Amino acid sequence: MWKCSEEKTFLDFPYLQVVERQCRKDSTPETEEPHRFYVIRAKDWCNIIPITESGKVVLVKQFRAGVLAPTYEFPGGVMESSDADVQATALREMTEETGFEALPTARCEKLGSSYPNPALQDNQVHSLIVGPVKKTQLQNLDPAEDIEVVEVSVEELTRMLRNGEFTHALMLTTLFHFLMKQAETLDSVLQGLVSYRK
């Protein structure tokens, strides 16, 4: 086991901090210097897969400064302290980025969570799905956002993945959770059929 004995913040930005952590193994003699690790402390964020009444997946295409190019993504964003929970964050971000809202009959489910990069970051990304959704208003974008809304079928989304058009790693994690959920549902149906035949 490792224990952190000291932490110092080097850079402090609105959505992340860069910190130095001095950690040591339980077996390390106190006379030895602790290891220094540099970590990005960030807020949790979420991605949500909105499904329309016609079964289309709502995507966003937006410019990303890290790669100086647009990427296809699911709507999502950073959890704010004013958000009640991850579901509230996801639905808020979806409506702001796309203008789509969950209909009164909609269900919103959490698909799973993961650590984006536990070697360097301490936050989690949460994956959700909601449907049915419907376009009810205009986008409410931040000044730095320029977002195109795109509706695709699940088949088109998997084609985009195969063709290298859907490349954002955290969005691929959310897509993985979604496909796993689909597989579980299909497996449940198949098991039911097998049981029925017996």
Give the residue ranges of DSSP H helices in the chain.
86-98, 154-162, 169-197
> What's the CA gap between 168 and 186, in Å, rounded?
27
Residue 118, preceding peptide bond in cis (omega within 30° of 0): no
Kindly report the pTM of this predicted structure. Answer: 0.87
Specify burial of residue 189 (Cβ count, 10 A radius: 0-12, 13-18, 19+): exposed
Q: Which residues contact 129 (CB under 8 A, 6 or more apart)?
A: 48, 49, 50, 51, 108, 109, 111, 178, 181
For residue 187, what pLDDT is reported?
A: 61
Helix, strand or coil for residue 166?
coil
Q: Mind listing the pLDDT tens digit of every residue in the chain (198 residues)?
A: 888 889 999 999 888 999 999 998 888 777 788 899 999 999 999 999 999 999 999 999 999 999 999 999 999 999 988 888 999 999 999 999 999 999 999 999 999 999 999 999 999 999 999 999 999 999 999 888 899 999 999 899 989 999 999 999 999 999 999 988 877 765 654 455 554 444
Pick the CATH number of 43-190 from 3.20.20.70, 3.90.79.10, 2.30.30.790, 3.40.50.150: 3.90.79.10
> For the chain, which residues make up each domain, given as ranges?
2-41, 43-190
Residue whose pair of structure tokens reads 């993985």 in the numeric block: 176
